[in-house]
Amino acid sequence: MKFLFRLSLIILFFISKNLNAQDFAKITFLDKRICDLGTFPIKDTVLVKRIHFTNNSINLLEIQTVYKSCSCTNVSLSKDKILPDEVAYVDISVDTKNKIGSQEIVVHLIANTEMKDHIIRLIFSIE
């Protein structure tokens, strides 16, 4: 009797664990998330990088919040709710005015995925 009770507890544990895992969406980036954009001359320039991603789950992927490391950066999502197997993108534009030397811009996409925070880094230099 104790054996059956323990066995049913173990089965319930694994069922609940699998159900919880299915609540999350899965984001897959189709482009590199660490991008070296190169070196640019000192002048007022706007750099733009597009990063594609897809929803590889059976659940709706929701980009809940976007954080950026610099006020010189604008972030635009093609959509914030991505259906299963659908492709979307994020456009990151950086105004290089008053920048000189090595630069790194970090963008955080917060989503309903198991790992909530997805980081994109743009690296470039102004000389």
Q: Which residues pair with 126 in a beta bridge?
A: 40, 101
- Average pLDDT taken over every residue of the chain: 88
> With the CA atoms of 50, 46, 70 and 120 taken in that order, what torsion angle do they form, in degrees rounded to the nearest 10?
20
Residue 121 predicted with pLDDT over 90: yes
Distance of CA 91 to the CA centre of its chain: 12
Least-confidence region, from 1-15, 60-74, 79-93 = 1-15
pTM over 0.75: yes
- Asked if 106 and 75 count as a contact pair (C-beta separation under 8 A), the reply is no
CATH number of 2-126: 2.60.40.10
3-state DSSP assignment of residue 1: coil
| Domain ranges, ordered by start, for the chain | 2-126
Choice between 37 and 17, residue whose per-residue pLDDT is larger:
37
Q: Alpha helices of the chain — where are they, by DSSP H? A: 2-22
How many whole angstroms separate alpha carbon 127 and alpha carbon 116? 36
